[in-house]
């Protein structure tokens, strides 16, 4: 018997509760409701409150569907986690370690650059909210910081996990260079800064 998240599952072969019993793939195969593998390509990345963003270098033209462009263009996204500082207290010959301040590292968001959708332009417009090259002004955090959602799905597209990344903004952009001797797709990489991330399982559990 195996207990996961308060639910008991029958272990039909290679009982892991018996010391010395080998645990192989037969155990996985006989418990498919537990050991369905999570695929890395079953996800969505959604940026909130970004539709209608002003195009960089323009005073009136906007991207009406910026959220959809980013969602459909995303190739890879970082899964948010934090590292925690350590506060050490030494006395005599021993040391105690206490939890310190957490830090959420930056992440790399990689997207396909679709011509009609103008993926690169949408990201430039988002970055333009934090610094406008033409006016040399730094924007207000209330304008350039956006909440983002990373949703992981099962193969039949049922939500498995939902991350909320608070206060996201673009601190850097890079693009695949043009090359006459290659025949590759062009990608855009956005460096995303964020304040914190929360695992939100409401409606999923």
Token readout for 116 is 């009609």
pLDDT digits (tens, 9 = 90+) for 166-189: 999 999 999 999 999 999 999 999
pTM assigned to the model: 0.84
**pLDDT at 12 exceeding the cut of 60:** no
Q: How far apart are CA 134 and CA 127, in angstroms?
A: 13
Token readout for 31 is 């418990």
Confidence label for 22 from pLDDT (cuts 50, 70 and 90): low
Same domain, 27 and 93: no
Sign of the alpha-carbon torsion through 17, 20, 26, 29: positive
Same domain, 81 and 172: yes
pLDDT digits (tens, 9 = 90+) for 99-134: 999 999 999 999 999 999 999 999 999 999 999 999
Can you tell me the mean pLDDT for 128-156? 96
Helix (H, G, I), strand (E, B) or coil at 83: strand
Confidence label for 10 from pLDDT (cuts 50, 70 and 90): low
Same domain, 112 and 145: yes
Same domain, 106 and 82: yes
Output the domain CATH number for residue 132. 2.30.110
Same domain, 96 and 10: no
- Residue 205 falls within a domain, yes or no? no
CA-closest candidate to residue 103, choices 78, 83, 79, 80:
83
Can you tell me the mean pLDDT for 65-85? 97
Residue 103's CB is within 10 A of a number of other CB atoms, namely 10
- Residue 130 falls within a domain, yes or no? yes
Helix (H, G, I), strand (E, B) or coil at 7: strand
Q: How far apart are CA 193 and CA 76, in angstroms?
A: 16
Range(s) of the domain holding residue 78: 38-199
Same domain, 29 and 73: no
């Amino acid at each position: 018997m195996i207990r996961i998240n308060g639910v008991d599952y029958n272990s039909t072969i290679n009982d892991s509760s018996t010391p010395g019993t080998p645990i192989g793939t037969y155990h996985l195969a006989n418990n498919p409701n537990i050991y369905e593998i999570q695929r890395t390509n079953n996800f969505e990345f959604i940026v909130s409150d970004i539709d209608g963003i002003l195009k960089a270098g323009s005073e009136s033209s906007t991207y009406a569907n910026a959220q959809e462009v980013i969602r459909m263009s995303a190739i890879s996204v970082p899964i948010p986690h934090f590292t925690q500082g350590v506060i050490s207290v030494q006395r005599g010959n021993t040391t105690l370690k206490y939890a310190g301040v957490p830090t959420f590292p930056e992440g790399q968001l990689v997207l396909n650059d679709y011509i009609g959708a103008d993926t690169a332009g949408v990201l430039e417009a988002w970055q333009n909210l934090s610094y406008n090259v033409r006016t040399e002004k730094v924007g207000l955090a209330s304008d350039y910081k956006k909440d983002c959602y990373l949703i992981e799905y099962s193969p039949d597209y049922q939500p498995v996990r939902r991350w909320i990344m608070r206060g996201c903004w673009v601190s850097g952009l890079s693009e695949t260079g043009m090359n006459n001797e290659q025949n590759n797709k062009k990608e855009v990489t956005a460096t995303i800064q964020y304040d914190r991330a929360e695992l939100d399982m409401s409606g999923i559990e």
